Amino acid sequence: MAENLKRNDGLPPAMTRLVKELARLPGIGEKTASRLAFNLLNRPRDEVIALAESLLEMKERVGLCAECFGLSDAPRCRICDDPEREHDLICVVEGPADLMAIERARTFGGIYHVLHGAIAPLDGIGPDDLKIGELLARLRDADAAVREVIIATNATVEGEATALYLAKVLKPIGVRATRLARGLPAGGDLEYSDSATLSSALSGRREL
């Protein structure tokens, strides 16, 4: 793609560079990247500065919560820091977008653990590449006294494989493990499920 851009764009180098950077983003092809670059060129300077600054600010400020590994701009996220939440009920999700989907449903009062992926042997992703060791450490912490872990990985092959693996490693710890009910469409990603579906999947969860 880089070669393509070099050969036939006829753009000033600063523009070519922006198109190249934008085209790295998921779902943005070369055409869309060019369209976005032209749009930005025609925008007022203060808007472009606001966009550039927001990118840098996000990168500098947003990291992972030390407890749940959700996104946070503080050492611990707002959910982990909230005394009103049930800290003995942990919902395990694949990614931050899944956490946000469950939060939008507004029915879950516990806290989270974000795995940052799912087991996918074909892509070379095993349990050690996910925050599973960190989850076990949280559960073994006697102060946490976790009573239930809800496994809310996606209803995909990888999500199911991850749920099975978690059920296996959670057993010796003796904590109750449940899985979201089969309300979610098979192959469906949690983050795209509507709130009503997510709420019923949560309330109808089953033992593992």
Residues engaged in binding Zn ion (CB under 5 A): 65, 67-68, 70, 77, 80
Least distance from Zn ion to the Cβ atom of residue 67, Å? 5
**CA nearest to 184, candidates 131, 109, 105:** 105
Least distance from Zn ion to the Cβ atom of residue 138, Å? 11
Cross-strand partners of 113: 92
Phi and psi at 28, nearest 5°, equal: -110, 110
By beta-carbon proximity to Zn ion, the closer residue of 19 and 77 is 77
Structure tokens belonging to residue 207: 């033992």
Segment (H or E) for 53: helix 45-61
Least distance from Zn ion to the Cβ atom of residue 187, Å? 29
Least distance from Zn ion to the Cβ atom of residue 79, Å? 5
SS3 59: helix
Least distance from Zn ion to the Cβ atom of residue 103, Å? 12
User: How far lies 103's CA from each of 5, 27, 79, 109, 112, in Å?
Assistant: 42, 26, 10, 9, 10
| Count, residues in the chain | 208
By beta-carbon proximity to Zn ion, the closer residue of 81 and 160 is 81
By beta-carbon proximity to Zn ion, the closer residue of 33 and 114 is 114
By beta-carbon proximity to Zn ion, the closer residue of 22 and 68 is 68
By beta-carbon proximity to Zn ion, the closer residue of 20 and 138 is 138
